[in-house]
A and B are shown apart, each in its own frame.
Chain A
Amino acid sequence: MWKWEKRRRFGHAQLGAWLLVVSLVAMSSCGRRESEPPEPELPAVPDLSMPEARPAPPAADDAAPVPPIPPLAEAERPTESPLNTLPAPDLTPTVEPPQLGRLSLEEEIGEPDASEAQAEKSIDAQPESPLAGSSDTEPEPALDLPNLTQRLRETEALGVFTKVALKNQIDDLLDELQRFHRKGGPVERLRERYDGLVVKIMALVQEDEPRLASDIARSREFIWAILADPHGFAELAREGTS
Chain B
Amino acid sequence: MTLRQLCLVALLPLALGSAARSEETDERVARDLLTVITMEGLPCGKVVSTTRRADQDYTVECKTGDRYRVRIIDERVRVERI
Q: Which of A151-186 contact B (CB under 8 A)?
A: 158-162, 164-165, 167-169
B28 in the interface, Cβ–Cβ < 8 Å? yes
Q: Is the CB of A161 within 8 A of B75?
A: no
Which of A158, A161, A169 lies in contact with B72, CB distance below 8 A?
A161
| Residues of chain A lying within 8 A (CB to CB) of residue B62 | none
Q: Quick check: is B29 within 8 A (CB to CB) of the other chain?
A: yes
B75–A200 CB distance below 8 A: no
A-B contact count (CB 8 A): 39
> Which one, B29, B32, B39, B70, contacts A200 given CB within 8 A?
B39
Q: Which of A197-218 contact B (CB under 8 A)?
A: 200, 204
Interface centre among A158, A165, A168 (most CB of B within 10 A): A165
Give chain A nearest CB distance to B62 CB in angstroms: 15
Q: How many residues of B contact A (CB 8 A)?
A: 15
CB <8 Å contact, B35 and A160: no
Could you tell me the distance in whole angstroms from the C-beta of A228 to the nearest C-beta in chain B?
Answer: 25
> In whole angstroms, what is the CA distance A223 to B75 when docked?
24
Q: List 30 A-B contacts (CB under 8 A).
A: A158-B32, A158-B35, A159-B28, A159-B29, A159-B31, A159-B32, A159-B33, A159-B35, A160-B56, A160-B72, A161-B32, A161-B33, A161-B70, A161-B72, A161-B77, A162-B32, A162-B35, A162-B36, A164-B72, A164-B75, A164-B76, A164-B77, A165-B35, A165-B36, A165-B39, A165-B77, A167-B75, A168-B77, A169-B39, A204-B35
Other contacts beyond A161-B33, A164-B75: 9, CB < 8 A:
A158-B32, A159-B29, A159-B33, A161-B32, A161-B36, A161-B70, A161-B72, A168-B76, A204-B35
> Which residues of A line the B interface, CB within 8 A?
158-162, 164-165, 167-169, 200, 204
Nearest Cβ in chain A — how far from B80, in angstroms?
14
Q: How near does chain A come to B13, taking the closest CB pair, in angstroms? A: 25
Give the chain A neighbours of B76 by CB distance below 8 A: 164, 168
Q: Which 6 residue pairs spanning A and B have beta carbons closest together?
A: A159-B32, A165-B77, A161-B36, A162-B35, A161-B32, A164-B77
State in angstroms the CA–CA spacing of A161 and B75 once bound together: 10
